[in-house]
Amino acid sequence: MNNKLIKFFNLAGLTWFVPIVKICAGDNPTQQIRQMWLIMGVPIVAFVIFLALWSASASQINTSLGAIPGPSAVWHEFIGLVDEHTAERQKEREFYQQQAEENKEALAEDPNAELNTFAYTGKSTYLDQILTSLYTVFTGFILATLFAVPLGILCGMSETFRTALNPLIQIFKPVSPLAWLPIVTLTVSALYQTGEDSWFEKSFLTSAITVTLCSLWPTLINTAVGVSSIDKDLVNVGKVLRLNWSTQIRKIILPSALPFIFTGMRLSLGVGWMVLIAAEMLAQNPGLGKFVWDEFQNGSSQSLGRIMVAVFTIGIIGFILDRIMQTLQNLFSFGKPQ
């Protein structure tokens, strides 16, 4: 039981809890407490020192928008943003209520009256922006994976294919999202016509595709490396058994290359998240990037605090995404943690 729990925590990246479980099991308490201090206490102390340094130095720097906000000011702005969210939701409920009442009145007057079914058009709150960003990054990331994994497998399996694609990969891999963005924007506006009932906004597609273009490469390269470094014996066994092409991929190549593919995907998601913020700033797709840009443009005395909130949100979400991918990676590496 205990061993299973410990294994679970290790896999989930929640190593903080491992010593607690061990103490509960009566496993040499002094050693476990030492272990706890190392993996929990030290980071917490370091974080507290960081907060103290930040709060001491922030007030020393004066910008044209006032002093850089300290931790308490940032926390205050965060609470303010959450309050704004609740207030906006309240307004939204009132809007729909009012619309329903007006429709009822209109129906009472004339049973055939045309009813209003307007969607609420208030501002998107901070929490909405976070969700939009996550939605965009995952769309871009999934698209990237769908392209990169099959291509990577082809590259890994065929020497010719790899040599053919190599220059392209090397050229496009280092390109910054900012260079892609204008091209993607123009292409999307030219090819994608929006109407009343279109699925996506153009700006959403622009940022998602930019994320795809930039996060494609780590998965592609890792998959190719993973596939090409499969134990030759395994491949030969496949040949001896005369497995057909698709069975070979499913039974031999994919299982052995999975750890590599997940390492690539983990890197890709990290890149995608970073790229997304820049793309949103420029493409003006609603999301955290636009939030930062709008606040910069506002230039009010609250702006810096709010941007700081966004910085921490971006960091924490990036951290959580990475942990999730790490867990997946551990799960699929069959006992060989990367």
Partner 1 sequence: MKYTELFTLKKLTACVAVVAMVSFATMPVVHAASKEKKEKLEKPNLKFGFIKLTDMAPLAIAYEKGFFKDEGLNVELEAQANWKVVLDRVVSGELDGSHMLAPAPLGASIGFGTKADIVTAFSMGANGNAITVSNDIWKQMKPNIPVKDGVIEHPIKADALKPVVDLYKSQGKPFNMAMTFPVGSHNFKLRYWLAGGGIAPGYYAPPQDTSGQVDAAVLLSVTPPPQMPATLEAGTIFGFCVGEPWNQQAVAKGVGVPVITDDEMWKDIPEKVFGVNKAWAEKNPKTHIAVLKALIRASMWLDEDNNKNRAEAVKILSQSKYVGADEKVIANSMTGTFEYEKGDKRSLPDFNTFFRNNASYPYYSGAVWYLTQMRRWGQINEYKDDAWYLDTAKKVYHPDIYMVAANALIAAKKAKAEDFPAKTETGFKPEQKFFIDGIAFDSTKPNDYLAKFPIGLKGKQVVAGGKVTGE
Closer to partner 1 by Cβ: residue 267 or 283: 283
Q: How far is the CB of 195 from partner 1 (least distance, A)?
A: 9
Which runs of E-coded beta strand occur in the chain?
Answer: 62-63, 66-67
Smallest separation (angstroms) from partner 1 to the CB of 212: 21
Please state, in angstroms and rounded to a whole number, the distance separating the CA atoms of residues 48 and 25: 31
Q: Residue 2 or residue 194: which is nearer to partner 1 going by CB?
A: 194
State the nearest-atom distance from the C-beta of 196 to partner 1, in Å. 7
CA dihedral 275, 276, 282, 287 (to 10 degrees): -160
Closer of 105 and 231 to partner 1 (Cβ):
105
Interacting residue ranges for partner 1, rule: CB under 8 A: 64-65, 114, 116, 118-119, 121, 123, 189, 194, 196, 201-203, 282, 284, 293-303, 306
CB of 130 to partner 1, least distance (A): 16
Secondary structure class of 194 (helix, strand, coil): coil
Least CB distance from residue 58 to partner 1, whole Å? 18
- What Rg do the C-alpha atoms of the chain give, in angstroms? 26
- The smaller minimum CB distance to partner 1, of residues 86 and 194, is found at 194
Nearer to partner 1, 265 or 281 (CB): 281
- Min dist. Cβ of residue 76 to partner 1 (A): 15
The string of DSSP codes covering 61-108 is -EETTEEPP-HHHHHHHHHHHHHHHHHHHHHHHHHHHHHHHHHHHHHH
* Shortest spacing between CB 83 and partner 1, in angstroms: 13
Residue 338, SS3?
coil
Q: Give the residue carrying structure tokens 């003006």.
A: 284
**Which residues have a Cβ under 8 Å from the Cβ of 188 and sit 6 or more positions away?**
202, 205, 206, 209
Distances (CA, A) of 301 to 54, 139, 294, 309: 19, 35, 14, 14
What's the Cα-to-Cα distance from 262 to each of 149, 223, 266, 269, 334, rounded to whole Å? 10, 9, 6, 10, 12
